[in-house]
């Protein structure tokens, strides 16, 4: 894992799900091969391509040209960029546009964008005609290492993030790392939070590698493909063993219980991007674990230091603008998908790379912890 990566052919990672296996293809310049890869899977399929206006300005023409070159008829569906598009209203519009394009069960939906587009387009594909296959073409680091893999799709409720959705696996993921070159630095950093999260939950050696090599990952060196592939291999293994998140897959939510609550508290806005919320939530999960004497304060500080050095938020005060108090945050945490019969569940750690699921966490303990964090 720690061997120096070298440039070369695309890296292919398989997600093993019996008759629903699919490949994650990782490398630079892959958008040009999109049509050929889809043609090999579905020779006569038509496609509805869902994207947002920001991504369209950079990458829609290239994707359309790749599809056209292999004779794939494609209808583009554009939505507004940002978390606000993971809504009932936009979901309705996308579904109706797919139907208007006469996309049938034997056709495809293509999600060209970041996590918002992947979740939205994937959920629409899961629902229209009771299920259409779809292809993920993630254009952000966060989507390439996390949200495009594993089949979680959905939209947000005013009461919380990702509360409406379905498990619907893609048939192909094409992760063109050259597309990341157009990302604003803030968005790349937000995606890097998910890379760090994966290391922290189950791969201590990878975390050490990131501490030494993160600048190369940011610069676009071959280390970028290596880091993405490590995350995808790890997630593919977990998804293959626990597709529906009944056990081990819950570990991938490290940082998300605190993070989703903070993201909702910030209004799903540009004040706090999803990856930034994950970084902050991960720092809090390590701090909470240290408070429970599960890890040393030095380990929690090491994690916080790495997140901070790349420019990610690690304290609640780092979120711009006013944030709600403890009771509102507790209310939002109570809407977390891992809550069972009203009992709180957190992903905590017994060390770097040693995450575990902790059920029945005392709300009073969480409330006191948050009060202390808000005061810092």
Burial class (CB in 10 A: 0-12, 13-18, 19+), 180: buried
Question: Of 225, 226, 243, 253, which one is the catalytic site residue?
Answer: 253
Q: Which of 256, 304, 306, 337 is catalytic?
A: 256
Catalytic residue list contains 249? yes
> CB of 291 within 8 A of CB of 346?
no
Residue 141 and residue 192 in contact, taking contact as beta carbons nearer than 8 Å:
yes
Q: Which of 78, 161, 189, 260 is catalytic?
A: 260
User: Taking CA 236 as the corner, what is the angle to CA 211 and CA 13, rounded to the nearest 5 degrees?
Assistant: 85
Indicate the Cα dihedral angle 242, 246, 251, 257, nearest 10°: 140
Q: From the candidates 235, 304, 306, 337, which is the catalytic residue?
A: 235
- The verdict on whether 253 is a catalytic residue reads yes
CA distance 31 to 207: 30
Strand blocks (E) in 29-88: 47-52, 74-79
Catalytic residue among 78, 86, 152, 337: 152
The single residue of 59, 86, 194, 224 carrying the catalytic annotation is 194
Select which of 243, 245, 276, 299 is catalytic: 245
Q: Which of 197, 274, 304, 337 is catalytic?
A: 274
Residue 266 DSSP SS3: coil
Residue by residue, DSSP assigns 269-338 as STTS-HHHHHHHHHHHHHHHHHHTTSS-HHHHHHHHHHHHHTT---SGGGSSS----HHHHHHHHTT-TT
Establish whether 156 is a catalytic residue: no
**From 130, 293, 341, 376, active-site residue:** 130
DSSP code, position 190: H
130 a catalytic residue? yes
Instruction: Tell me if residue 86 is catalytic.
Output: no
Does residue 360 have an active-site annotation? Answer: no
Catalytic residue flag (residue 37): no
226 flagged as catalytic = no
Per the annotation, the verdict on 376 as an active-site residue is: no
Active site residues: 130, 152, 194, 235, 245, 249, 253, 256, 260, 274
């Amino acid at each position: 894992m720690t061997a120096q990566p070298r440039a070369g052919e695309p890296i292919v990672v398989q997600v093993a799900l019996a008759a629903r296996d699919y490949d994650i293809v990782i490398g630079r310049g892959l958008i040009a091969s999109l049509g050929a890869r889809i043609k090999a899977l579905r020779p006569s399929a038509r496609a509805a391509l869902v994207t947002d206006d920001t991504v369209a300005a950079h990458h829609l023409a290239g994707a359309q040209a790749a599809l056209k070159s292999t004779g794939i008829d494609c209808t583009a569906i554009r939505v507004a960029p940002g978390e606000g598009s993971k809504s009932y209203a936009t979901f309705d519009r996308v579904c109706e546009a797919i139907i208007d394009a006469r996309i049938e069960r034997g056709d495809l939906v293509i999600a060209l964008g970041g996590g918002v587009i992947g979740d939205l387009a994937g959920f629409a594909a899961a629902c229209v005609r009771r299920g259409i296959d779809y292809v993920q073409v993630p254009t952000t680091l966060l989507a390439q290492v996390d949200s495009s893999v594993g089949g979680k799709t959905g939209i947000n409720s005013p009461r919380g993030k990702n509360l409406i959705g379905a498990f619907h696996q893609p048939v192909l993921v094409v992760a063109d790392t050259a597309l990341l070159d157009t990302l604003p630095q803030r968005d790349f950093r937000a995606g890097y939070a998910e890379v760090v999260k994966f290391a922290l939950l189950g791969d201590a050696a990878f975390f050490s590698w990131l501490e030494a090599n993160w600048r190369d990952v940011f610069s676009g060196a071959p280390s970028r493909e290596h880091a993405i592939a490590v995350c995808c291999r790890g997630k593919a293994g977990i998804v293959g063993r626990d597709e529906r998140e009944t056990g081990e897959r819950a570990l991938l939510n490290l940082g998300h219980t605190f993070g989703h609550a903070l993201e909702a508290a910030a209004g799903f806005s540009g004040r706090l991007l999803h990856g930034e919320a994950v970084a902050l939530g991960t720092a809090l999960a390590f701090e909470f674990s240290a408070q429970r004497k599960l890890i040393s304060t030095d380990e929690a500080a090491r994690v916080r230091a790495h997140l901070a050095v790349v420019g990610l938020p690690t304290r609640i005060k780092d979120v711009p603008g006013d944030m709600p108090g403890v009771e509102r945050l507790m209310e939002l945490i109570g809407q977390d998908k891992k809550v069972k019969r009203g009992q709180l569940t957190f992903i905590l750690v017994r060390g770097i790379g040693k995450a575990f699921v902790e059920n029945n966490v005392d709300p009073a303990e969480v409330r006191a912890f948050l009060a202390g964090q808000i005061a810092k």
